[in-house]
Amino acid sequence: MKSQYLSQKEKALGLSEYMKHITYNGLGINFLASTTVYLMAIHCGASNLQLGYISSVIHLSGVILIFLPGLIHGMNLVKVHYYAWIFRGLICIFYGLLFFTSGQNAVMLILAVYTGFCLIRTVGIPVGQPIQQALTNQDNLGEFVTRLLNRAHSMTLVSNTISFIILSTRVFQTLTGLLFIQLLGIAANTMAARHINRVPCRESVIYQSGRNIFSLLKENLMRRETGTVLTIHWMGLSSVILLTFLIPFLKKVIAMPDNMLFLYSFVASLAAVFSGYLIKPFVDRIGSKPIMILSSSFLAILSLVWAFVPVDTHWGAIFLLSFLTLFSQAMIIILTARLVLKMIPEKDKITYTSMVHFFSAIIALLLGLFGGYLIDLGEVTSHPYLHDYSLVFMTQGVFALGIIVSCYFLEDRGSLSVRETTQILLSTRDLKAYLDIYQFNLTTNPVKKKTILLAIGLSDTNVATEEIRRILRNPLSAEKGELLKSLYARPRPVLLDEIIQEASDVHSYHRARAIFALGAYPNTRVEQTLITFLDDPSPDIRSTAAKSLARVGNVSELEKVIELFKSPANKIWEGMNFFVAISIMDKSGQYLSDLFETAASNQGDSRTQTILSLSSRLLGMSPPLSEIYQLENDHPSKGVKRLLEEAKQIEIFNKVRKSLKEHFENQNFIEILEWCRSILVEHTFDGHRKYLKNSILSQPEETLNLSTALATAYFTYQILKADILE
């Protein structure tokens, strides 16, 4: 028997249907409420107090939430939402009676229908958040909320564009146009109800007797975590309520026509969408707290600008100011929605959300009426630098400051500080690293993922370091190996504990790469760790540890590494690692005395070429011996030709160039060896050249073949070149 919780498949289906619901609901709510109702009321001669009531009634209707949890106890959450949405659309049909009324009777009809609309809507609102919570996870709440709001605001753009076109048409420039918009809203609202009804849901409303909204309020306010979130939520709501007075301000003070007001609403929605897309990569990782402090600070400043804006300001400047203001407000809405959704308890979900919306309704009512009172007060109080709505916008600024103060008491776990957030947003390096990380976690393209991973590994920002630490904690991350390699190329001492832990885990898939990375962290702890790995049963681990030990500057285990190098169990990769370690540890170059004997083995010519080429590279010789081998392997005699062409700079090679070429062609490798010995024995060298000379002089003739003969001539040239050409 299934529990109330949804499977991943059900969540995916539910999220798809819920997003369709949001799409149609975004159209419906904007056609049925907000600007359209304002304009109908203004058209019919509503007073400031009545407009204030319209601003707050959508929240005021929450008073019914006192009784709602008990009334809908046992009902399926989705069914409650569905029927509420069906009936809230149907009641709007009564706006058609405006054709037969006028004046205050028309205004009262609008207030009555809109109140009914809001009351029925309120029945569905408390179940909305639990449904959302069931469709997402705690880790991506911010991105989920942002996605929902972006979709809703995008639909607002569409609905406002449609409304603007309708009201710009001559035949619809009266109340008829507004009522036609209402008709479109009813159709869109019905489609929204249809899709919400398809969301999988096995949760029902549970109401516990005695657990009413007042006891829950007291209980949650007593807890710092939930009390702070509720305070921020209600202050953010207060800001929203007071900013709704921008529409009557633009209509009555700035004197904008109806179609331009819909253009303003378009700008407002554009600001909200832009805000959502901008904040989406940051909200879950940075947290609500720092971004909310920054957004509220900006909003407080803009509120003062609105309070003192001249009434003859150009509409272009008004639209720009509106965009910035509503951009900041949208950020606050997203962040508070994330916090509230995060705080919904497992039990008493509906009672909790009802409590939140009930007290939101009381606050909205008081502020809506208070806003209307402030406008009336502004009309009778003259000041050369203030307008009728200045007191409203000043009060709104006070609430923005209240959010800032409350945020300092907010416990948003995992949230960055304001300073860290500002550093990310203002530093191009940090911002790029942050966006790279966001794209890395978002993309499924393996090539793009690898490219972004490389950029993260090369970034020296704290943001990149934290992301690397997070990936290192994943036991099966495909990217862990690449990042461990990057930790060698770009050391991060703060991650040393994580690297050592990975290197010490004998069951780790990426253990060898972690040991490799330790080669970039010279300190006693690393040295002791690597020395213990020299006794590991695996040749791969022993050889990698030896190479890293050499790279951190420890030479104490040279003799042991030489013995490990001689083990016949070593494959080519382990042999190369040991050889690199020996070359670094033996600073005198004595290891080169046995170079040809070491390189020549019964493991194949490939190993011989590899060891000899590696020696060339470690000694920094040019051209690389590997390049000559490549040419010879690609086409016989091309490597020989390249070597002799390079060596003719030295007269002694130039004189015998033709004969050496013939010896190579005829495979007279002993003659080549004898000639090289005769040249070298006449000279005295020091350092690595001394031991390289000894290796050629003591080279066993039975090991001679094309590869060793080429290397003999090559190293002879390199030994002489150091004296003659340099």
Q: Tell me the pLDDT tens digit for each residue of 462-518.
A: 888 888 888 888 877 778 888 888 889 889 999 999 999 999 999 888 999 999 999
Half-sphere exposure of 319 (CA within 13 A, CB side): 14
Quickly list DSSP for 412-450.
-TTPPPHHHHHHHHH-HHHHHHHHHHHHHHH---HHHHH
Residue 609 lies in a domain: no
Residue 706 lies in a domain: no
CATH number of the CATH domain containing 184: 1.20.1250.20
Which of the listed residues 502, 521, 540 is the one where a domain comes to its end?
A: 521
Prior bond to 257 cis, omega within 30? no
Domains: count for the chain: 2
Residue 625 lies in a domain: no
Euclidean distance between CA atoms 314 and 316, whole angstroms: 5
Which of the listed residues 358, 389, 420 is the one where a domain comes to its end?
A: 420
Q: Which two tokens stand for residue 719?
A: 């030994």
Is 132 found in the same domain as 38?
Answer: yes
Is 305 found in the same domain as 226?
Answer: yes
Residue 466 lies in a domain: yes
Residue 528 lies in a domain: no
Is 376 found in the same domain as 273?
Answer: yes
Residue 61 lies in a domain: yes
Using alpha carbons, select from 381, 401, 400 the residue that is nearest to residue 391.
381
Residue 494 lies in a domain: yes
Is 410 found in the same domain as 362?
Answer: yes
Is 397 found in the same domain as 483?
Answer: no
Contact present, 48 and 223 (Cβ < 8 Å)? no
Is 161 found in the same domain as 129?
Answer: yes
Is 322 found in the same domain as 235?
Answer: yes
CB atoms within 10 A of CB 500: 19
Is 147 found in the same domain as 128?
Answer: yes
Output the 3-class SS for 28-79. HHHHHCCHHHHHHHHHCCCCHHHHHHHHHHHHHHHHHHHCHHHHCCCCEHHH
Is 160 found in the same domain as 277?
Answer: yes
Is 399 found in the same domain as 360?
Answer: yes
Domain boundaries, position 470: 427-521
Mean pLDDT by 10 residues, the chain (726 residues): 74 88 89 83 84 74 71 82 90 90 89 89 81 77 78 82 81 79 92 91 73 78 85 85 83 77 76 80 77 88 89 83 88 83 76 79 80 83 79 90 87 72 76 78 78 82 84 82 88 92 90 93 93 92 94 92 86 89 90 85 76 91 92 92 91 90 92 92 88 90 88 92 69
Is 471 found in the same domain as 400?
Answer: no
**Mean pLDDT, rounded, of the chain:** 84
Which of the listed residues 368, 388, 420 is the one where a domain comes to its end?
A: 420
Q: Which two tokens stand for residue 521?
A: 């962290």
Is 480 found in the same domain as 369?
Answer: no
Predicted TM-score (pTM) of the model is 0.63
Q: Tell me the pLDDT tens digit for each residue of 574-601.
A: 889 999 999 999 988 888 998 888 887 6
Residue 221 lies in a domain: yes
